[in-house]
Amino acid sequence: MSKAIPLEIGALQAAYSRGEWTPEQVLEEIYARIPEKHPVWIELISLEENINRFKRFKENPQALNQPMFGIPFAVKDNMDVAGMETTAGCPAYAYVARETATAVQRLLDAGAILIGKTNMDQFATGLVGTRTPYGACESAVAPGIISGGSSSGSAVAVAHGLVSFALGTDTAGSGRVPAAMNQIVGWKPTPGLVSTHGVVPACRSLDCVSVFAQTCRDAATILEVLRTRIPRPGEGASPWAVSEEFRFGVPERLEFFGDGEAEAAYFRAVDGLKQLGGEAVSFDYGPLAEAAKLLYDGPWVAERTAAVGEFAAGHEAEMDPTVRGIVLGGERFTAVDAFRGQYRLRELQADADALMRRLDFLLLPTTPTVFTIEEIRQEPVRRNSQLGWYTNFVNLMEMAAVAVPGGLRGDGRPSGISLIGSSGCDEGLLRMADRLHRVLCSEMPIGATGIRLSATTPIDQAAPLRGVMEMAVVGAHLSGQPLNWQLTERRARRMRTVRTAPGYRLYALQGTIPAKPGLVYEPGFDGPGIEVEVWAMPEDTVGSFLAAIPSPLGLGTVLLEDGSTVKGFLCEPAGVVGAEEITALGGWRAYRARG
């Protein structure tokens, strides 16, 4: 190959802009990489057809402005693509789709190029990647190790650099376990954030379309294309993701099934988050572990029976025996069992909600251990269950998750780390996961691509975060001051300490309890700038905060010394009549320290 394709989304788009590559050339190079026979693929779209499709797409005058222009991707073969067979990993089940799944269509409309449909654990039932008649994929980074399932082919395609990203699905961990086994990023969105229309259901009430990518930045780019539900103001706000400090949960008791290498990899990640300013907080994993058991040992397995049980009953010879046993196993549950399961889940969800009120996110091993393909063949059910120890509860709890590589272990096997947060915090999780990924694996290659993570572009941590408003405070709301609780009770987090632009004067207001300053803007004034703290506040709490501000204070726009603006406290000029000017001191803390 003459030169490497920069498959990272931003890098590939930049190469297009500079004229170094065209989408047609990228397609030719990708197809040259794909072996004639490889278990990654169930069906490929031909090179000729893809080039013709893209030529037609470019006839649209807005084609060049589309966010996914010329980006190659793959989809798991339980997603419909009009005119292609959907097999769900079972040839006897195959049908030709009449329409394209919503998530796939959004990507095609945005200019992405579909290369083909990928291998999977049959009917998306498994975390191993071996329950398929199309041949088991192995890890792209460790020969003989499982690829992880059920979205095995999608993860391996990204890890081998055959596509920029791929779609999988995730009910019990299928968008995260393969990411760990192949040392790439796996984002499992909040349930309902991305449409599952056109996806063969596993557990319809829990299924999510997931994304495998080289970096968290790529996953965040794809999020904006796939998102089919726009959050309400402040919904899912993650002020901790832009804060100087954050709290993450570490289970009091961890299970690694005797795998010391996996344990060591996990605690390297704990140390990595501490380096970034995080505080590790221990918590009881028991309620989450109990919820996880509901997925396969409880009535939710009956959803798999509802989805494909009728087919399974009549096609014993055509199905993987383990998959068929799980699907038909749901018949033993009654409607009473289903209701009791829902009641217990609600109790466990209440426990989880209480937990997340004191934590920003959880840090868990993606898997507690790693298996070879042969080890899975020896004990397919028990070892599959072990792989889901830290993943099975997430969709039941309506949470979001991002899995990042933990790096290769001392024994050469892969490791993975997952950040798990409350509903809607996907963007914040991706930001934090990107930071951790780069602490753990900066000089390591992405999957089997040979491209070091340090050569890719990180997420812009200074970019505005959806659902959060930046708020400058100057006096009684500063850290350690008497009204700071009005910020913290609204889940606001301190971002940084800075100074205003020179045009501000500061006064000590008379008769205020507790004592407060007044910040006044005066055009043309060339002062020292006033020290302020910038806090990140969820948008939906700003109204109640504003209502608590007494006259003559109010919220306005404050110009900072770097030229940026934020909302913040300002004082009406009439309010400083007769007040002591303290501008020369440079801030409220210096004034209070004066005594």
Segment 325-370, tens digit of pLDDT? 999 999 999 999 999 999 999 999 999 999 999 999 999 999 999 9
Contacts of 286 (CB under 8 A, 6+ apart): none
Give the SS3 label for residue 587. Answer: coil
- Is residue 449 helix, strand or coil? coil
Long-range contacts of 16-20 (CB under 8 A, 24+ apart): 16/69, 16/70
- Distance of alpha carbon 151 from alpha carbon 179, whole angstroms: 9
State how far the Cα of 269 lies from the Cα of 287, in Å rounded to an integer.
23
**Alpha carbon of 161 to those of 208, 344, 491, 528: distances in Å?**
24, 44, 41, 53
Query: In the block, which residue shows the tokens 């009684």?
Result: 476
pLDDT band at 595 (very low <50, low <70, confident <90, very high): confident
CATH class of residue range 9-241+365-455: alpha beta
- Average pLDDT of the segment spanning 517-524: 96
Please tell me whether residue 465 adopts helix, strand or coil conformation: coil
Residue 230, pLDDT score: 87
Tell me, yes or no, if the pTM score tops 0.85.
yes
Query: Which residues are known catalytic residues?
Result: 76, 150, 174
Query: What is the distance between the alpha carbons of residues 142 and 392, in angstroms, rounded to a whole number?
Result: 25
DSSP letters for 491-523: T-EEEEEEEB-TTEEEEE-SS-SS--EEEEE-T
> How do the domains of the chain map onto residue ranges?
9-241+365-455, 468-594
pLDDT at 2: 45
Q: pLDDT for 235-263, tens place per residue?
A: 999 999 999 899 999 999 999 999 999 99
450-473 burial string, b = 16+ CB within 10 Å, else e? ebebeebebbeeeeebbbbbbbbb
The SS3 call for residue 86 is: strand
What residue type is assigned to position 429 of the chain? L
- Domain 468-594 falls in which CATH fold? Hypothetical upf0131 protein ytfp (3.10.490)
Q: What is the pLDDT of residue 594?
A: 87
Report residue 246: phi and psi, to 5°: -155, 160
Residue 361 φ/ψ region, left for φ over 0, alpha for ψ in the -120 to 50 degree band, beta for the rest: beta
The C-alpha atoms of residue 365 and residue 266 are separated, in whole angstroms, by 6
Question: Does pLDDT of 1 surpass 70?
Answer: no
CA 483 to chain centre: 34
- pLDDT tens for 382-432 read 999 999 999 999 999 999 999 999 999 999 999 999 999 999 999 999 999
Q: What is the pLDDT of residues 456-497, one digit of tens each?
A: 999 999 899 999 999 999 999 999 999 999 999 999 999 999
3-state secondary structure of 41: strand
Q: Going by C-beta distance under 8 Å and a sequence separation of 6 or more, which residues neighbour residue 21?
A: 5, 6, 12, 15
* Mean pLDDT score across all residues of the chain: 96
